[in-house]
A and B are shown apart, each in its own frame.
Chain A
């Protein structure tokens, strides 16, 4: 039998193992603890060996799960022992039994520091290990510089340095404010030259932590990381003991690719190319093999490579390779790979627009939703949730509902929440949404949180059309034999408000509604009784003429609950009883609930807010946050102009006072109802209006700029202000709308790709998807209403420049809540021109009128198609187009300096195909493309750029084609791209969309062009 080398310890372990039951074990442990406690009492008699033995025993007992609440001091004191054997035990047991907050650790900081700066390598290692495993703030404060020194010391063995690297990582992760890493970028760059792969592995983990916080300081590390990856993937100079089943340290490969994911892009084309070669090799060269370990290791590398490719926004071809691989993985039987396929597909959705391709796998993914392994089911659920949109929402949600009836306990809550969110986000019509939520409550009531039913009430209240439907449904459910309590709540609420809309239907008389609800009362809890009482009061109020029998019955109930032990119920009973005797006054007080203010769905917020706890921020999330950040910055800068153009309908004070009292009355009456959606989300825009709201009401009219006021009332044309406002919740008064994201940037992005978001504000999102063929184009505008109330007076006007023929299909005047409408737009390019078409878009939301003018991405380069021209064709063509106006030459100055490969990339992105090697001079660049328009038909264009290596800000450009207009326009177009490349010009984007169409329609010939110029 294997023995511990310490007899007493082995005997004790054997004793424990021989115990017949837990009770015996406990006795044996207690006996031992008593013994140790006694021995520790007079420490003088203890030999170092005995101390060591007892401390190990303590750890063993501790590991068995018993409390060891003494002896910590003895353990810690071993750390300061002079001999290795005791020191070792002290360090190890301390790091197992104490955590970083333990007071005793403070006592040994000095001792630990002495070991770290001392000469004994073994002691250094022990100390670094303990600090690396449990070091807290005080350790960081007093030890970080020493640890840093060890890491870069040339006299330390790799053994010490790798421990120092990870020790420093711990201190930095825990206390980034204490550990000073200024100036560490050079050191990290040097450390990456390390030959020892153990040190390199440790250093790479440190680098990941550093770049995740501040990649900008570590650009120098990027080429080194790529080189390390190349070295590993080519298996160059890798010691045999770092090969794992034939793969050069898969862990270091994974870590290195992780580090690379924190850099937003890779600018240097050479490095980018090298990296892509490596990644390509990994993507193509990973086969499924029999050996499990080899397979896992190679796929660990493959999945990390996939993540990196997604992050780098690789070329289309490589992306589709990734999607294809993932498609393959989600269909395999091997569970781990299928799991990872699903997981990474979900991540991919967050990064790029692959929805359409992933949809093809929907059936396969649904199969995984029914897998026996809960881990796989969870991933499938996440993916379905992520891939859901208006087109497949019905299928997916129905699938989830169906699955809900058989799903196990552990998944139900998540399932219910996700189904509810999807139903809300993508409902093609609201009655479907109501159906889904009621089914959810019916099938899995225990898992439906209050937020979910509050939300459905909100929708129903805000949409008059929906109310009778919801009431019918609620009534139907009440006939079911076993009803979940949440269903009782929601039905009672809805029927209280709207059952009078059903009065003529069979089974829906006030009396019948009352009795079917009242049947449930004996089985429900207090909070539901409260709602039922409100419902009874409302039924009573709606019963006109009064039904004495019903009235007596309900009064009797109120009477009964007047002495209820619960204060809320008691109060309701007393108040309703008194109120209901007041006759007509009751009508006012118990009137229908007012519409809810628009707010972010608490559900969606909840889903977004779920925090994940990771050592380093995930690269994907970081990127999302950075985008978020820019849009926040926009809102902040926008606030001032927004204030000035404040809405400002100033109602008479009287009206408001009335509205307020009425409101208060209602809130009081419907005690529970006021709790609906308690975390009313207040994004910054709302905050603003909250601050401004009271001002607009209470302040004298002069508080608002009178000009603006006129402007608005002029716009609305009607003096509907006061009565509309009496009911309008405060939030709705702000009618200056902030765009989300940078409009100019969105446009720029869409010039280079064919789908994406063109415009977004809190109420609407306008997406674009385009297809181009020769001189024809088809753009589809996706107008998505983000709210629970409809957008009205929707108008979309296209202002085409003279060279484009554009036809927009009918845009509906109203976009229903949560709906998305698609409006195809046909485009024909008549002749070459750089002018831009503009979409003049307006809508009304509540009292807010929004009007925005958006450039449409139907730009010149969309009508280009790259073509490669061989030398023997190029030169005759080039020569035949001699001189102006068919061939134009210009020296362009003030060019943004670009290396040749960067310029080539830029050209390629605009569909100008660069042919390397065609021009004998390496400083020149030659490109070709075909332009399509009705007047020119397909026409070949040739471009030559001569650069000056000594001055990259200038170049000479020659453009040739068979059409003078085309030559000129194309030349100007390229010039614009070269002179004004991606320096985001924030100014135009910052301008909030005008609340008012202020741009005067001048008598110009081409309004589109003029507007585009203005924008």
Chain B
């Protein structure tokens, strides 16, 4: 199960934080700080997995952005690693050539997309097409 998802830039600014487990405010700040410290200095030649407390962070770097997912240590690492990539592809498709600024100014859209992709810490939909179409539907409603 995904415990939380973080999008952070190299400086550690959080661009998206979604928690599927109840954490206190102060704990969330600590987690974000620690996860950033943990992934930012890792060599690109290293694994995409790193232990974090009693869990595991699966992360991937795209340009200056780190996408990190905290999952159970018994979870399938590669499946979640590709889950990150699929999410990035969806964002890329939605924003046509996504960049960090898109995510900054449209952070609310990113939350919407994420809610169509992952729910309750589990994958909800793996079809890019289904999610993009759904976003179209939602935009019409506004």
Interface residues of chain A, those whose CB is within 8 Å of chain B, are 1-5, 10, 13, 17, 56, 59-60, 63-65, 67, 84-85, 88-89, 92, 96, 99-101, 122, 128-129, 132-134, 136, 159, 162-163, 166-167, 169-170, 173, 197-198, 201-202, 205, 239, 241-242, 244, 249-252, 254, 258, 293, 296-297, 299-300, 303-304, 335-336, 338-340, 372-376, 378, 611-616, 618
Contacts and interface: CB of A to CB of B under 8 A. Distances in A.
Contacts of B48: 336
A244 B89 CA distance: 11
B105 A300 contact: no
Interface of B: 1, 13-20, 22-25, 29, 32, 42-43, 45-51, 54-55, 72-79, 81-83, 85-86, 95, 99, 101-102, 104-108, 111-112, 115, 119-130, 134, 138, 141-142
Contacts of A335: 45-47
Given A201-B125, A300-B82, A612-B74, A84 B1 contact: no
A336 B77 contact: yes
Contacts of A132: 119-120
Given A56-B108, A63-B17, A133 B78 contact: no
B126 A2 contact: no
Contact of A129 (B29, B115, B125): B115
A336 B79 contact: no
Contacts of A1: 101, 105
A122 B141 contact: yes
Contact of A250 (B16, B43, B82): B82
B19 A198 contact: no
Contacts of B49: 336, 339, 375
A3 to B, nearest CB: 6
Contacts of A249: 126
23 contacts: A13-B104, A59-B107, A85-B142, A92-B108, A92-B115, A96-B18, A99-B19, A101-B22, A129-B115, A136-B22, A166-B124, A173-B1, A201-B124, A201-B125, A205-B123, A241-B127, A251-B79, A251-B83, A296-B82, A336-B48, A339-B49, A611-B54, A615-B72
Contacts, number: 197
B127 A242 contact: yes
B22 to A, nearest CB: 4
B122 A63 contact: no
A615 B21 CA distance: 10
Contacts of A101: 22
B47 A376 contact: yes
A374 B73 CA distance: 16
A3 B82 CA distance: 29
Given A84-B141, A339-B47, A198 B124 contact: yes
B47 A336 contact: yes
Contact of A2 (B86, B105, B120, B138): B105
Contacts of A205: 120, 122-123
Contacts of B42: 373
B105 A299 contact: no
A614 B73 contact: yes
B138 to A, nearest CB: 8
A293 B107 contact: no
Nearest to A304: B76
Given A122-B141, A205-B123, A303 B95 contact: no
Contact of A340 (B45, B78, B119, B126): B78
Nearest to B81: A296
Contacts of B47: 335-336, 338-339, 373, 375-376
Nearest to B142: A85
A63 B19 CA distance: 12
A995 to B, nearest CB: 43
A3 B105 contact: yes
Given A2-B102, A338-B47, A372-B46, 17 more contacts: A1-B105, A2-B99, A3-B105, A4-B108, A13-B104, A13-B105, A99-B24, A132-B119, A159-B134, A241-B127, A251-B79, A303-B76, A335-B47, A372-B43, A373-B47, A612-B54, A612-B72
A375 B128 contact: no
A375 B45 CA distance: 12
Contacts of B105: 1-4, 10, 13
Contacts of B123: 201-202, 205, 251
Nearest to B79: A300
Nearest to B83: A251
